[in-house]
Structure 1
Amino acid sequence: ILSRQKPAVGGSSSIVREKEKGKEKKLPKVDDLLESRDYTGAITVLEFNKQAGKGEKDTDLWIGYCAFHLGDYKKAYEIYLKVCKQPGCDATVWANLSCCFFYLGMYKEAEDAALKAPKSSLQNRLLFHLSHKFNDEKRLMSFHKNLQDQFEDQLCLASIHYMRSHYQESIDVYKRILLENREFLALNVYVALCYYKLDYYDVSQEVLAVYLQTYPDSAIAVNLKACNHFKLFNGKAAEAELKHLQEISSSSFSFASELVKHNLVVFRSGEGALQVLPPLIDVIPEARLNLVIYYLRQDDLDEAYALIKDTEPTNPQEYIIKAVVNAALGQERGS
């Protein structure tokens, strides 16, 4: 008995095992990942828990939420559609599905889904935007009247102003909200974008810097900074900013990858235009105009005209480009 080396009960080895268990890494909490905007991490944990049988009632909804914020609208749409088909589904999910349809450019489907959702400020904002897409001024004004003095509705109004090229009106709304909510740092990006559209590139840079100090890996913000550099300096300076973005790329980079590819073509004076721009024509508004410019530089007036002939200009750049194409084609044909 005195020579026993192996304990008969637990002993120190069980204590060691308990300590080792304590050292095991725990999965990060979904709430913490969402707070840090790590939607890739959050969706990974959610899907892991679901496969492990630890999923909760609203796990699918959170997966859809993460997919939506990652820009994977197709995946989010598939999840929300599946949830909507379940018996006893919360009718508010139809509004989420409508948002997915909207970002996928499926506006009729977005309207149908929105109308199935209960009346709410989100439903009104969706229908407000859809009326703009359908060029239905009468309906747009009716939904405009329903907007309330809350920041979500006011942001919606500012975005409509922006899309109608009423940039100063957008700035006024954003600044008013910022005065009351200094913590809404992302609004600085929207203000900077409006100043960019107004050709105030230096001012845009100053406003943008406020946001980039806190979120230096934001694809949208860095991309806008690159565009300002392109206007203020040259394509190489702009491309350097995007290269830096790729080096520190986060989940937001995949969200804006198409936008970055488009802008790299512009920064490189049209290099790769025929490979990159055609699929983006109905995704990024400027893609059509930049492809027209490329065709003009190649003296391919027929292709340029085919792209621009049905476009209804809404801003000075579109008016100028369409006028140049028509003038060049008329001169070539002697008409």
Structure 2
Amino acid sequence: MSKKILVTGGLGFIGSHTVVELQNEGFEAVIVDNLSNSSEKVLDGIFAITGKRPIFEKFDLRDKQKVQNFFEKHKDVAGVIHFAASKAVNESVEEPLLYYENNLGVLTYILQELVKKDKSNFIFSSSCTVYGQADEMPITENAPVKPAESPYGNTKQVGEEVIKDTCKVNAQLAAIALRYFNPIGAHPSAEIGELPIGVPQNLVPYITQTGAGLREQLSVFGDDYPTTDGTCIRDYIHVVDLAKAHVAAMKRLVEGKNDSNYEVFNLGTGKGSSVLEVIKSFEKVSGAKLNYKIAPRREGDVIQAYADTKKANNILGWKAQSTLDEAMASAWTWEKKIRNI
């Protein structure tokens, strides 16, 4: 069987780390990316780590004809890991139509091609945002999917429904939705890492950019939440751990070990950390004080979210290995490298 895997958004933060782990495990990665939030230079980083340069095709997956042309050209693709999507909660509140077009239209076009094949495997980059503000912590896969707090979260919920409905009537399609919590860090080689274009939408790159002097000050959105220190709590998982989980999930599908043709797994560390704890971790590993201020709460933010990871641990045989300090240290090493600090 072919070991060629299409990784959409494969030059992005999680995508590039997953390409590295796929190649390390003997898969052949093919990347499609429109470079809207990434750089072609990432290919050099992947090559530096693995000694292999993946096939790369630059185009926008919102172009249905180009999606069809790609699958016509690469008939031997054995599976798809789908990362290509817009991902900022607050931006999605401001530009909902962009998010629905990009995150749901593209998903539909890819699935339309996969169901034409005799057998196809699909990994969906989902999110803990599907749970909204969960009633109980840690969050299990059986927690109710609540009304989304943002258009971004809604695209993940609807995306999962689209895949599940498609799998119901297409037995030849096997899919796994991976609901991950908050990916941070960088590859230990510092050859690839998180490099957002423009102002970072996520906490850790904003912290490291503030530490590096690119940003004057970090805003902590709210210190009056009902948590230990008043700031929001999230489950921060090292991106390399997360990437390895995608490979474990793809192996499960390729080897036909899945129990049904649609499965869901949480991916996290199982531990929640507050915004202030993440800042303290950065200060510990960097040896520097971070300039931050408390700002008003931000629309779309849930109070706390951290994973129950037993299902992924037991069934995928996968477990997060890195600590918060290790992840923050890798993110800071990466930031210093790209800024020549």
**What TM-score do you get using the length of structure 1 for normalisation?**
0.27
Richer in strand (by share): 2
Specify the structure having the higher radius of gyration (Cα). 1
Richer in helix (by share): 1
Larger RCO: 1 or 2 (CA < 8 Å, sep 6+) = 2
**What TM-score do you get using the length of structure 2 for normalisation?**
0.27
